[in-house]
Amino acid sequence: MAKKLQQFYIFKLNSSRVIQDKLNIQLNIDRARENGELVAIGDSQMLRSLREITGRNNYEERLKKLLDQRHNARRKPDSSINLYEIEKEIDAILFVPEIVSLVVEDNRHYTKIIENGLYINGKKYVRLMCSAGQARRNNVLLVDSDIEADLKKILNNGRKDIPLVPAKFNAYFALASSTALPVTTPLFCVVKDCEVKRKERVEWIEEDPSGDDKIEETEKEIKFNLFDGQGLISPRMAMQWAADLDLDYIPSCFIVRSNFIKGLLVVVDFVEYSDYIGKHIIEDVYGDKVNIRDMDVILSASQFKLYNAFDNIKSYIENCKKNNIGWGVTRYAPKQEKNHVTLNYQFIQALNLNDQGIKSLCKKTIEYFRNIISNTLDYTLLYLLGDLCDENYDEHIFERIGDNVAKAIILNNNLINDPYIQGYIQNSIRKRIKESYIGNIIVNGNYTFMAADPIAMLEHIFGMPVKGLLERGEYYCKYWLDRGINKIAGMRSPLVWRSEVNVMNLKTNDDIKHWFKYLNCCCVFPANGMDMAVLGGADYDGDIICLTDQKDIINGAYGGLPIMYETKKAPECNIV
pTM: 0.92
Count the neighbouring beta carbons within 10 Å of the beta carbon of residue 439.
14
Q: Which residues contact 393 (CB under 8 A, 6 or more apart)?
A: none
Are residues 255 and 542 in contact, defined by beta-carbon separation less than 8 angstroms?
yes
Phi, psi at 237, each rounded to 5°: -70, -35
Rg, C-alpha atoms of the chain: 26
Count the neighbouring beta carbons within 10 Å of the beta carbon of residue 478.
21
What are the b/e assignments for 526-562, b being 16+ CB within 10 Å? bbbbbbbbbbbebbbbbbbbbbbbbebbbebbeeebb
pLDDT on residue 31: 94
Count the neighbouring beta carbons within 10 Å of the beta carbon of residue 205.
14
Are residues 187 and 297 in contact, defined by beta-carbon separation less than 8 angstroms?
yes
Angle of helix 83-94 relative to helix 60-75, nearest 10 degrees?
150
Q: Tell how strand 487-491 and strand 544-548 pair up.
A: antiparallel
What's the Cα-to-Cα distance from 194 to each of 229, 330, 533, rounded to whole Å?
11, 25, 16
**pLDDT tens for the 576 residues of the chain, in order:** 688 888 999 999 999 999 999 999 999 999 999 999 999 999 999 999 999 999 988 888 888 888 888 877 777 766 566 788 888 889 999 999 999 999 999 999 999 999 999 999 999 999 999 998 899 999 999 999 999 999 999 999 999 999 999 889 999 999 999 999 999 999 999 999 999 999 999 999 988 877 788 889 999 999 999 999 999 999 999 999 999 999 999 999 999 999 999 999 999 999 999 999 999 999 999 999 999 999 999 999 999 999 999 999 999 999 999 999 999 999 999 999 999 999 999 999 999 999 999 999 999 999 888 888 776 788 788 777 777 666 666 666 777 777 788 888 888 888 888 888 888 888 888 888 999 999 999 999 999 999 999 999 999 999 999 999 999 999 999 999 999 999 999 999 999 999 999 999 999 999 999 999 999 999 999 999 999 999 999 999 999 999 999 999 999 999 999 999 888 887 877 776
Concatenating the DSSP letter of every residue in 480-535 gives HHTTT--EEEEE-SSP-SGGG-EEEEE---HHHHHHTTT-SSSEEE-TTSSHHHHT
